[in-house]
Structure 1
Amino acid sequence: MQQLLVGEIFRQCARAVPERMAVAVRDERLSFAELDERSERAADWLLRHCRPGDRVAMWTETCVDAAVLFAATSKAGLAFCPLSPAATDDEMVGALAVIEPAVIVTNRGRRAAAGSLVAPFGATVVDWESLAAHDRDSGTPVTAPGFADDIPQLMVFTSGTTGVPKAAMVSHRAQFLRTHPGAQFEPRGRSVCVYPLFHVAPWLIALQQWHARDGVIFTTDTNPDTIADAVADHAATRLNMIPALWRRMIEYLDGEDRAISPLATLRFADTGTSATPLSLLQAIRGLVVGANVRVFYGSTEAGNVCGLEDQDIDAKPGSVGVPSVSTDVRLDETGELLVRSPLLFDGYFNNPSATEAAISSGWYRTGDLAEIDDEGYLYIVGRVTELIRSGGEAVAPAEVENVLRAAPGVTDVAVVGIPDLSWGELVCAVVVAEPGHTPELADLQSFCDGRISSFKHPRKLVLVDNIPRTQTTGQPQRPLIVDLVTSEQADPG
């Protein structure tokens, strides 16, 4: 069987399109020839300091060197382990204890701190400048000890619902299949990537681009002006953002007076990771006229599970689409979505109990509650761990939120369960009202009639100025919201 090795992609691109831009961050750019040459030198250095299968941690802000290290570890048969530059010392120690890296790569400003953090693990610390200055003995491609495509190419941390960090291992083969143009939607033109580099998403977006021999632009922040300028400066044709960032972009451009939209070159406007109401998708269409608006659903562990095409958005509101090629889905008796696919991760590093809990007989348990309609379209209705138990019934907060988000006078909403002696938990709607509107509980309950079962209707309403959401995915921070609702500071609705 042919080995699907990620490192070969960079060599092929350097031979086919050496001068084409491969990656850019701010004003710094690397062509495919430069990316290949620099990653060959870095791979040579790594092979002198690592053993086959070792982990290489990256602790740095967004920069083009990150792409160099990604390519270098791929060529050397080492696992690429990006860490959050905003991690606290305790978080770093916890992550390093999990992966036990042989090397940690950082910038000079972090080198001393990195040395202190990795001292207990015996890891070697190297900065970008030293890695770039390494002089190879020859110009021939680096020859790594033979390795198969089932070894980890990428390790990304995910805490799930426990808060305990777990390093999800994604093999060369899975990475290759997740991003191959023949298996996904082929990129044509450059893509702007807004996601932090310690997540799986930026490397899927980038690798899909590199598979298609085209470039990716990493932004250093998620401000709408930064993103819009990146699209315009590079005439990018593809942009993938979470719903919260699309909302901010719409608000930003509504206040701009430009003859030509900075997003005019986009041909694909993608979103996902959380519930995406039809009204937002239609607003994105209005923002990027002529582009295909698409919704994707997936995870670090499962890759891209399914997608909703532009032509299906109006007919299947709220859906995340149909399963990807070679992906099987089913629901267990509780409604949890299970996925089986060659795109699946290989488990959590050195954590067999967590791996066993996540994968059973080849099926990955997503933790998401879902519904599948008669035509095979998938709908995510909530999280297993977020279920509200009210009066003996189970209520998925996201399902209620999807309904209330369309209610008159509602700008934003989160639904949580709050303790109640009679019901166990009450379904509570936490709402940001439109200016000049004051929604009433009875109005929201009436709006829910005929849309969701009566036991899912909110029984309490709290009005707030804003809803706490995670910075990365825009998901409601439910524990914080529950504290807000139950505290003395919350205003009764």
Structure 2
Amino acid sequence: MTDPVGGQAPVSTRVMNLATFLAQAARRDPDGVALVMGDRQWTWAEFDARTDALAVALVQDYGLNKGDRVMCQSLNCPAMMQAMFAVWRAGGVWVPCNFRQTPAEVVYQTKAAGARIMLCHHSFPDHAAACVAECPDLAHVLSFGESAFAPSVEAATAARMGRRAPAAVVDRDDPCWFFFTSGTTGKPKASVLMHGQMAFVVTNHLADLMPGLTGADASLVVAPLSHGAGVHQLTQVARGVKTILMPSERFDVAKAWDLVREWRVSTMFTVPTILKLMTEDPSMATADTSSLRYVIYAGAPMYREDQKHALNRLGPVLVQYFGLGEVTGNITVLPTHLHDPEDRENARTGTCGFPRTGIEIQIQDNDGNEVAPLETGEICVIGPAVFAGYYQNPKANAESFRNGWFRTGDLGHVDDAGFLYITGRQSDMFISGGSNIYPREIEEKILTHPAITEVAVVGMPDSIWGEVGWAVCVARPGAPVTEADLAAYLDGRLSRYKMPKRFLFWDALPKSAYGKITKKLIREELDRLDTVGAP
């Protein structure tokens, strides 16, 4: 490591505790609306005071020490956001799980994180019981809402209301969040995010994704706060933007559009599958979307046909970013002005954008050498948004970093201007007759057929070619389409060696807890149905 000041260690590596964003928002606009869920509302002053009280309780009543991990298993709710900031204010590490996971999955993540405290929504008693029984490091459980299995966060907050909790002193590299990977190719890993890193991420989100946010803006949460939506809402708090939570667990598209109209919602974070659902729902016909400024989609590439449909329904408000949890979403951005449903000159059809501010991308071959523009390789990245590594996982860290570059595991290429095009995951690519096949290109072609609404192409064993593509499709309701129809449609649109050998039709494609189409689950289902290798 270089010596930046000559002959001594850095004078200071101290940074702002992330919970200070909330304190600053409350100081600027104490009476403004901060959080809304159904008929419940918190002002910024109330949000901050409740956070203070819970931070005091966590330290004084439950023994939270700096660096202790706090597991959270919860539906979206105001108390979950309160707890996130309280954990940071007390110096703890936030470890959220997706609420759709099984008790066994939450047990695994609680053990992997070494969590000492668990915050569990009252509707998940089985998850709390399993963690108490099987996690030796777990010392305390609190519930969001009244429950039979633990004292409530609300009671702990009420007992300490009026007590102030100064933000714990933190350094740039102190951990603040264990961001678990989705685990689509194995056990989830805990990515260690840091206070200094996350301060950069917030600044970068505001600069590259949502410039010009103010307290007059409002943000609707339509995804779990445990992952990308939580980072998005941290960014909203930094600018005093009110957060609107959906009033129930079930995602009601019509209700979402009602809230957009009622609260003049200007920003949303979502994933392509949810954005597709929202713009294709019948309630879209009467929705008032005039307040929208930034509809941000991430988590997976959005197919071009779906992107064009959303642009035609919403107008020029779409912002795409590409990023993994390990880089906290900060790899590329495709801003509103580069989205165009008509593919005019300024548009970059098929790209996921250019490098985010302060981020460098390099496309590398298997030996870590940079490849030429338009040549496919692994997408690698460096910059202040890159995480510290996986918690207590030296093998994964050795595999994920090379010469200082973080290896995303995604394949793609850049053009001469540096715009990035994602080809797919390394694990999705298959080899047929000696040729590399990238499913995304085939999926894009299939989705141009008017009868197809979703598709996933996977490589399957073949006695002649080694592997061949199978396309698992979802047809629009009432749209007649057959295997022969799709084969004929693709003839001349796709090279023969890329043509899927089979087209299957399912009612729906399996998706992860975050709404991503999960090819691992598709392969498992094909195996279960004993269709692999069928003629």
TM-score when scaled to structure 2? 0.83
Q: Is the 8 A contact 1:60 1:84 kept in 2?
A: yes
Q: Is the 8 A contact 1:381 1:398 kept in 2?
A: yes
Distance 1:405 1:167, change over 3 A: same
Aligned to 2:394: 352
Aligned to 2:3: none
Aligned to 2:236: 209
Q: Distance in 2 between matches of 1:425 and 1:240?
A: 37
Partner of residue 279 from structure 2, selected from 245, 250, 254: 250
Q: Is the 8 A contact 1:294 1:308 kept in 2?
A: yes
Q: Is the 8 A contact 1:409 1:437 kept in 2?
A: yes
How far has the Cα of 1:81 moved from its partner?
1.0
Aligned to 1:384: 426
Q: Is the 8 A contact 2:455 2:473 kept in 1?
A: yes
- Over the matched positions of the two proteins, sequence identity in percent amounts to 26
Which sits farther off after the overlay, 201-210 or 349-358? 349-358
Query: What is the total number of aligned residue pairs between the two structures?
Result: 483
Aligned to 1:124: 140
Distance 1:83 1:266, change over 3 A: same
Q: Give the alignment of 1:159-178 within 5 angstroms.
A: 159-178=182-201
How far has the Cα of 1:488 moved from its partner?
5.9
Q: Tell me, yes or no, if structure 1 residue 338 matches structure 2 residue 380.
A: yes
Q: Distance in 2 between matches of 1:402 and 1:190?
A: 34
Q: Tell me, yes or no, if structure 1 residue 44 matches structure 2 residue 86.
A: no
Q: Tell me, yes or no, if structure 1 residue 54 matches structure 2 residue 68.
A: yes
Which sits farther off after the overlay, 270-279 or 28-37? 270-279
How far has the Cα of 1:33 moved from its partner?
0.8
Aligned to 1:443: 488
Q: Distance in 1 between matches of 2:355 and 2:31?
A: 37
> Please, which runs of 5 or more residues in structure 2 have no aligned partner?
1-11, 143-151, 367-376
Partner of residue 413 from structure 1, selected from 435, 452, 455: 455
How far has the Cα of 1:279 moved from its partner?
2.8
Aligned to 2:252: 223
Q: Is the 8 A contact 1:416 1:482 kept in 2?
A: no
Q: Which one-letter code corresponds to 2:362 in the other structure?
A: R
CA deviation string 1:371-412 (max 9, x = no partner): 111111111111011111211222121222122211354333
Q: Which one-letter code corresponds to 1:194 in the other structure?
A: V
Aligned to 1:14: 26
Q: Tell me, yes or no, if structure 1 residue 238 matches structure 2 residue 267.
A: yes
CA deviation string 1:44-87 (max 9, x = no partner): 12222122110111122221011111111111111011123333
**Structure 1 counterpart SS, 2:244:** strand
Partner of residue 174 from structure 2, selected from 138, 146, 151: 151
TM-score when scaled to structure 1? 0.90
Q: Tell me, yes or no, if structure 1 residue 293 matches structure 2 residue 293.
A: no
Q: Distance in 2 between matches of 1:481 and 1:161?
A: 12
Aligned to 1:328: 360
Aligned to 1:191: 219
Q: Distance in 2 between matches of 1:466 and 1:110?
A: 27
Q: Distance in 2 between matches of 1:112 and 1:492?
A: 41
Q: Distance in 2 between matches of 1:321 and 1:62?
A: 30
> Please, which runs of 5 or more residues in structure 1 have no aligned partner?
none
CA deviation string 1:74-109 (max 9, x = no partner): 111110111233332221221111112121122455
Q: Distance in 1 between matches of 2:185 and 2:449?
A: 33
Distance 1:8 1:336, change over 3 A: same
Which sits farther off after the overlay, 371-380 or 86-95? 86-95
Partner of residue 73 from structure 1, selected from 70, 87, 98: 87
- What value does the CA root-mean-square deviation take over the aligned residues? 2.6
Which sits farther off after the overlay, 176-185 or 482-491? 482-491
Q: Is the 8 A contact 1:400 1:456 kept in 2?
A: yes
Distance 1:44 1:485, change over 3 A: closer
Q: Is the 8 A contact 2:174 2:195 kept in 1?
A: yes
How far has the Cα of 1:178 moved from its partner?
0.8
